[in-house]
Chains A and B, each alone.
With several copies, the nearest count.
Chain A
Amino acid sequence: MNAAARSETRRTLTYREAIREALREALSNDPRVFLMGEDVGRYGGCYAVSKGLLAEFGEARVRDTPLSESAFVGAGIGAALGGMRPIVEVMTVNFSLLCIDQIVNNAATIRHMSGGQFSVPIVIRMATGAGRQLAAQHSHSLENWYAHVPGLRVVAPATLADARGMLGAALADPDPVVIVEHVMLYNMQGELDAEPAAVDIDHAAIRRPGRDVTLVTYGGSLPKTLAAAETLANQEIDAEVVDLRTLRPLDESTILESVQRTRRVVIVDEGWRSGSLSAEIAARIMEHGFYDLDAPVKRVCSAEVPIPYAQHLEAAALPQPEQIVAAAKGLFGHG
């Protein structure tokens, strides 16, 4: 289908629906694929992503699990070793702490430990992030931990096209892929082609080209960062927005090339500042882009507090467009 035909058939849908479509496609096209996790079946998924899939594909392929994160993620790893292509949904990154051992010590290591004899083609999806007033135990953004682990690939769809396309790319990858879906994105609406193009999971994307400053971000912070870029545009600052897309391995080149053009950087990351992914990006720019910089890289991250319930406190704890704007403008004091 050519581009014209494609655009004729564009339709509006949500990020949630885009993922559901991707799941449906995967289940339809490959008998080795199955979906498993807590409440993915009868309940329809804790964020309603998999609604309807049980009826469509049956119990064998859309599997409700007991509350046993370690066992069912580990079982996904085992099933992948056994020739299947499991998609395991861990409701949220918060609960993934109960199975992080399986992901780090099994999924990520088995290929290496076995001297290359076995690969682990599992896809693990999880919701991440704050913003829904779910308080300290339900608001983590710990994808940076997965992005620290050799053997894993970590991707964070921030657009409809990526929500639609990354799952297929992840399934095509012979190694474990963690997909983090920000909770504030599920209701995001947009347009997609009827038969969307494949996406890669190797490269960052420039979501808004600009000359004056590079705003690096990913996932749930992308909309905030784009909003900040618009505000900056009104103030004569032309911001380039880089969406990392893949958190491991990082697409350093795209970042560094942007830095070479703009010479100024703000990193926006919903993780707690200390030890967040933003730190790694700042370090990479330090190492490979130091002489390109006109000013030190700034970071806009979450405050270092367990995320509080109260709305105003939660909002104050998370990165907001105003802070991004202020940080970017601050870069023009020096330089």
Chain B
Amino acid sequence: MSTKIAGTTREHALELLRDMLRIRRFEEKCAELYSATKIRGFLHLYIGQEAIAAGVMRALEPRDAVVATYREHGHALARGIPMATVMAEMYGKAEGCCRGRGGSMHIFDAATRFYGGNAIVAGALPLAVGLALAEKLRSRNAVTACFFGEGAVAEGEFHESLNLAALWKLPVLFLCENNLYAMGTALARSESETHIARKAQSYNLPAATIDGMDVLAVEAAAAAAVEAIRGDGGPRFLEFATYRFRPHSMFDAELYRDKAEVEEWKKRGPIVTFVAKLKETGLLRDADLASIEAEVEREIAAAVEFAENGTWEPLGDLSRDVYTREMA
């Protein structure tokens, strides 16, 4: 029985597992809290895709920037934004990371260079290009990691952004989470070319497709891409094959896919397969798992408590932060 999987230490493997479990359990709690109307608005769960955020974030450094979509709880947590302030944000509390202004779809955090949570499909790709342009102009050798779904690929902004990043050789790491559906629209119904990495290559951009259910593969691919970007300053593109286990949002009746398809994918889920692999190789014992689960549970309980105890921002502050300098 080996104590490593392809160069991964036990410690590291358990960290990755914990990162994924934190996201999974956090979101399961969110779904509960949504039913309890503690969380409102749109809630898009990341469940099934945790390996991607967990793996990619491990490849980034604090100096790097992150841009994501409305399905970004996983990215926010994996990037290191405190769970308590994320939860408080989803409650709409003043103690939330965005003081309750953004909610589930708009998590921002200056400390970790997390530039949101964007709810316009493909709308953050140009931002990522611009962040990377700033890095280049400031010679900072930092990477901008830009997450988006495969639905964004059809948007004009995808095209314009990839071209600009490739043309100007900007340090953007494009990360397409191909979960096969954009709301109810299957990839084959939205793209004449369904091989997304190949599409990306048409911009003269190095691109590859990775198994997004395998956290180690994700991490390795992201690390290699980040290294390549730091080397030549130019963009890289990774497509992750993945699946969303839950409805698109809390309003989705899932008329567009078979239950069997979902079940099939669940068997390939990033946590269940990783746990199995770790157990098989002896890196994980039942006690480890229990202790991680317990730790995560405590963190979530504390986050919920923090959010519950949070305060409502006074109505008199409604117009705060529309502008930086206060208007006359």
Contact = CB atoms under 8 A, between A and B. Distances in A.
Interface of A: 34, 38-39, 41-44, 46, 48, 51, 60, 64-84, 86, 94-95, 98, 101-102, 105-106, 110-119, 132-138, 150-151, 153, 173-175, 202, 249, 303-306, 308-313, 316-317
Contacts of A112: 101, 321-322
Q: Is the interface of A mostly helix, strand, loop or mixed?
A: loop
B154 A312 contact: no
A308 B256 CA distance: 32
Contacts, number: 280
B129 A78 contact: yes
B92 A310 contact: yes
Most B Cβ at <10 Å: residue of A46, A110, A117: A117
B119 A309 contact: no
A66 B93 CA distance: 36
Given A42-B185, A68-B154, A84 B138 contact: yes
Given A115-B101, A134-B119, 11 more contacts: A71-B163, A76-B130, A78-B128, A78-B144, A80-B130, A134-B42, A138-B105, A150-B322, A308-B101, A309-B101, A317-B318
Nearest to B184: A43
B97 interface: yes
Nearest to A117: B110
Residue from B104, B137, B151, B252 having most chain A Cβ neighbours under 10 A: B137
Given A71-B126, A78-B134, A312-B315, A38 B101 contact: no
A111 B322 contact: yes
A309 B41 contact: yes
18 contacts: A65-B164, A67-B155, A68-B154, A68-B164, A72-B164, A74-B126, A77-B130, A78-B130, A81-B134, A113-B116, A115-B98, A118-B110, A136-B102, A136-B106, A138-B105, A138-B119, A308-B100, A310-B312
Contacts of B41: 132-135, 309
A109 to B, nearest CB: 8
B98 A70 contact: no
B189 interface: yes
Q: Which of A132, A134, A308 has the most CB of B within 10 A?
A: A308
Given A66-B163, A67-B190, A106-B127, A75 B133 contact: yes
Contacts of B319: 303-305
B163 A175 contact: no
A303 B101 CA distance: 14
A42 B318 CA distance: 40
A105 B105 CA distance: 13
Interface residues of B, number: 80
A151 B320 CA distance: 11
B59 to A, nearest CB: 20
Contact of B119 (A119, A137, A312): A137
Contacts of A82: 65, 130-135, 138
Contact of B160 (A71, A79, A111, A249): A71
B179 interface: no
A153 B313 CA distance: 26
B242 interface: no
Interface in B73-111: 92-93, 96-106, 108-110
Contacts of B105: 134-135, 137-138, 309
B206 interface: no
Given A68-B163, A102-B123, A310 B101 contact: yes
Contact of A306 (B42, B109, B121, B322): B322
Interface in B124-176: 124-135, 137-138, 144, 151-152, 154-157, 160-161, 163-164, 167
Contact of B99 (A83, A116, A137, A151): A116
Given A133-B40, A138-B119, A66 B110 contact: no
A67 B182 contact: yes
Contacts of B164: 65-66, 68, 71-72, 75
Given A43-B184, A118-B108, A249-B327, A135 B102 contact: yes
Given A77-B127, A309-B100, A42 B122 contact: no
A275 to B, nearest CB: 15
B131 A81 contact: yes
Determine which residue in B116, B130, B182 has the highest number of CB atoms from chain A within 10 A of its CB, and name it.
B130
Contacts of A38: 182-183, 185
A136 B121 CA distance: 14
A308 B41 CA distance: 11
B118 A106 contact: yes
A111 B106 contact: no
Contacts of B256: 42-43
Interface in B253-295: 253, 255-256
Nearest to A83: B134
Contacts of B255: 42-44, 51
